[in-house]
Amino acid sequence: MKDLMTTAQSNRAVRRWGAPGVVMFALALALAAPGQALAAKQPRQTVEAVAPREAGEPIMAIVSIKSQQVTFYDSEGWILRAPVSTGTTGRETPAGVFAVIEKDRDHHSTMYDDAWMPNMQRITWNGIALHGGPLPGYAASHGCVRMPFDFAERLFDKTNIGMRVIISPNDAAPVDFSHPSLFVPSKEAIAAAPARADKLLVEEEEAVRAADEAKKAASAAAKEAQSLPAMLRKLEQQKARADAENAYADKLVANAKNDQARAKADELKQKAAAKAADAATQLDAAKAAAQPKRDAVAATKEAAKVAAAKKVEAVKAATDAKLAMEPVSVYISRATQKLYVRRNTHKPAPDGGGEVFDTSIEVPVTIRNPDQPIGTHIFTAMAKSGAGLRWSVVSIDEGDDAKDALDRITIPQDVWDRIAPTALPRSSIIISDEPLSAETNYRTEFVAVLSNHPQGGFITRKPTAPPVEMASDDGWGGNGFFFFGQRDPYAQPVNPRRRAGQYQYYQPAQPMPMQRSFW
């Protein structure tokens, strides 16, 4: 519309001024052109804005690198908007999919001379975050997303751990979307979830108690039988010596040359035979007494094994029941041909910083035409809608449109049956050409960066801590066993895309020690 109006105004000027006027008008346009071209290169300056309605809980934030702005959305649409300053050339803010994983109101950098980064909301452990900072009107950070100081302060208490943060190379916004492959929750399953969780929690507690008792019984039986080998070995040695003395006495009797020597040998033989018989009796009695103890060790050990297995099953069932009442996030990667599931346990990370995310589901997935790009699409359940959910989609990379991307994927039905019935608002499904970044671990939601866009502010930072194996009774930080993180925390992207002859993804040279923060 603006271009049409400009053309119409130019035509009127020709008619009004005549030929000389046209020449002067053209000259004026030519002189103004350089300034207009320079202005066109500058990002459009966004002003802070608040939606003229009551805002709900933020579900997602979308950062536009092109427009240097961030927009926050609740279930009904945008609620907050502000200018930002993203990473400068060589330290670009990575475009991709992230989530808030830690918040710190008064954060100070450990990488940049204790620089103040107030109201920090971390989205990667290697140091990319949203925070308050100076805004010169263009990209100027070391990779973080700076927001106006007052805006960051007002925003801080509104967001939660796990809120989706999408960093897009261009302008992007959620669009209403529907598709049969998206979660369709069951009203009955959602209503029954709390009672089911309580019931399974009781069963878990009983299973844990039974496992502990069985373990104690097995330990007591093993302790009681602990001295058996040494005692039996001592009696066997005594019997061996007695048998040797008895055999020696037999030789003396056989070799006796006279009655006196024979009588002496017979007396020694009687004593040796009695001693050997007594040693054999003691050994047989000890063996007989030891057998029940050995049987008890085997029985209690087996009982402890069975109880431990029941405990694992009960813990898993109770954990799934608790997680069923949390929004679920699914990531489907064309690069790895896998589907990953993440849900926040809201348990503090045992090594400090952030919260633990459940990572127990990781399965192969079938993608039709796997060599063809599919794009990066973030489907989000914005709110309840009748008996189902109202969905939106944000697409931030070239490839199929959102519908075609979902059509190409065959999702394992057993996984959907496990998580879809209790899917809640703020659940999400992400489809991408990209593998999960090595930044994805037990303390993060999904972290995936677009490999065909600059990542300088991401690549130059040290890698995050590798996943660790930790003890857990309930899968959330107790005394049993639970495995956090990916199988290969330093796995590199499969089929990465190129940009200017360089692979644009994070590639740590070697595992690094656990550190709380690098920036």
Which is catalytic among the residues 107, 142, 144, 377? 144
Rounded Cα gap, residues 463 and 112, in angstroms = 17
Q: What angle do CA 45, 48, 53 make, to 5 degrees?
A: 135
Active-site residue, 453 included: no
Q: Which of 131, 142, 377, 453 is catalytic?
A: 131
Q: Which two tokens stand for residue 234?
A: 């001592």
Residue type, 263: A
Three-class DSSP category at 95: coil
Angle at 496 between CA 490 and CA 497, to 5 degrees: 150
For residue 322, count other CB atoms closer than 10 A to its CB: 23
Question: Which positions ≥6 away from 396 have C-beta within 8 Å?
Answer: 95, 96, 97, 166, 168, 169, 170, 172, 376, 378, 450
How would DSSP label each residue in 53-67? S------EEEEETTT
Strands 164-168 and 60-64: what pairing?
parallel
* DSSP result, 361-372: EEEE-EESSTTS
Residue 261 corresponds to which tokens in the numbers above? 């020597």
Please provide the size of the chain in residues: 519
Residue 131 known to be catalytic: yes
Residue positions annotated with a catalytic role: 131, 144
